[in-house]
């Protein structure tokens, strides 16, 4: 390698260190946002938060809720006729025209990539029958998801109501839920899209996503939704994936939101790994004669942990006492028959159901087990490979 090449490489490394320094403590994260949160997608673990439960205006990240309701309506392939009152709205637009026909799916792409307020109104009227009807659906979904500090008053997030707000935490809950939907993920992570109308004269629209993290600023970005109004200021929800771990970041009122998200993502990727706590299949650690080789775990369990935290894991095993002879054969086997509770220090981080797979008739007469009146308790070190 030439000396000049080495110098350039060192300069690049220095710049990366200056802009994105190695962070070993969440308190070291410099976030410009008034409210912020970072969670891991599968477990929902909160890795970083700052005033995450403070109610705030949220601007166009509102459209995450609008999008998932439209997707779950099952009407994406249906054609929506655009009426004049769909188009008379301020702010970001995909420039819908009265009388044109466009699929609901294309409207959702326009909603998410270009933040079209006209798309939001068209979606609300088509799916909800009216804007008020759609807002009712939005608040019903928010309640269902446990978004206890959220109220929706419109499908777009404009500052036209004093009763439209959420929190960084609630928006993370919503995004976590929405990202379990394959169609939402596809739209959420689209860098660009081509839309067609179905009128006599076909019209084509080309849209590029407004999310700069996704379109080039951050290599691990997988999706997101931007927002801005004069009163809400800059809002942003984004996701990133690296080393089998997907993260969701939310910032509200963040002057430097792109860097806020990158700093939070880099902190998590540098300090956490997604650890498999439990494998699916037969649970073989129990030695009791009745239960031995009859306990099954249906799904693997993962959790993001630092290296230090991995040394502080323990587990507790709870099981129904074995039945008396053919009690389960006659009355049915409990589902589940027990649980493994996994602890990080004193905090429960996972509760894994155990299912019975075998002959439910108990031919054994273990005196000790017969003395147990309810559940028995067993503590062991968690082994992620058992």
Residues with catalytic function? 60, 63, 115
d(CA 334, CA 188): 41
Answer yes or no: are the C-beta atoms of 338 and 290 closer than 8 Å.
no
For 251, phi and psi rounded to 5 degrees?
-130, 140
The tokens describing 251, both together, are 């910032």
Cα within 13 Å of Cα(265), Cβ side? 28
Name the token pair of 244: 């089998």
Whether the CA torsion 284, 307, 315, 354 is positive or negative: it is: negative
Phi–psi pair at 286, nearest 5 degrees: -85, 135
Q: What angle do CA 182, 184, 189 make, to 5 degrees?
A: 100
The residue with tokens 């404009």 is 158
The values of phi and psi at residue 37, to 5°, are -155, 150
Give the span between the Cα atoms of 1 and 19, in whole angstroms. Answer: 26
């Amino acid at each position: 390698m030439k000396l000049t090449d080495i110098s350039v490489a060192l300069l690049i490394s220095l710049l990366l260190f200056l802009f994105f320094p190695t962070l070993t403590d969440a308190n070291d994260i410099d976030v410009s946002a008034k409210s912020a949160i970072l969670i891991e997608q599968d477990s929902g673990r909160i890795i970083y938060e700052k005033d995450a439960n403070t109610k705030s205006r949220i601007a166009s990240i509102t459209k995450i809720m609008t999008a998932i309701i439209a997707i779950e309506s099952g009407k994406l392939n249906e054609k929506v006729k655009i009426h004049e009152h769909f188009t008379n709205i301020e702010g970001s637009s995909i420039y819908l025209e009265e009388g044109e026909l466009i699929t609901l799916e294309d409207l959702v792409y326009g909603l998410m990539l270009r933040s079209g307020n006209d798309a939001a109104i068209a979606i609300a009227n088509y799916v909800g029958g009216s804007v008020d009807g759609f807002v009712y659906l939005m608040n019903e979904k928010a309640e269902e998801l446990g978004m206890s500090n959220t109220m929706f008053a419109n499908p777009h997030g404009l500052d036209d109501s004093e009763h439209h707000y959420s929190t960084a935490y609630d928006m993370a809950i919503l995004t976590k839920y929405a990202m379990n939907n394959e169609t939402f993920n596809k739209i959420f992570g689209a860098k660009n899209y081509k839309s067609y109308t179905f009128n006599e004269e076909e019209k084509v629209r080309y849209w590029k996503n407004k999310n700069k993290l996704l379109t080039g600023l951050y290599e691990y970005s997988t999706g997101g939704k931007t927002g801005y109004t004069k009163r809400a200021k800059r809002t942003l929800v984004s996701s990133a994936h690296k080393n089998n771990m997907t993260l969701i970041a939310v910032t509200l009122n963040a002057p430097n939101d792109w860097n806020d998200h990158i700093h939070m993502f880099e902190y998590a990727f540098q300090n956490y790994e997604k650890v498999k706590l439990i494998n699916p299949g037969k649970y073989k650690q129990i030695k009791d004669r009745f239960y031995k080789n009859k306990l099954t775990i249906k799904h693997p369990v993962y959790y993001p942990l630092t290296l230090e935290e991995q040394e502080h894991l323990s587990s507790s095993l709870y099981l129904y006492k074995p039945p008396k002879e053919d009690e389960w054969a006659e009355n049915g086997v409990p589902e589940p028959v027990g649980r493994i509770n996994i602890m990080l220090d004193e905090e429960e981080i996972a509760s894994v159901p155990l299912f019975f797979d075998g002959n439910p008739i108990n031919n054994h007469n273990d005196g000790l087990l017969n003395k147990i009146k309810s559940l028995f308790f067993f503590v062991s070190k968690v082994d992620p490979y058992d």
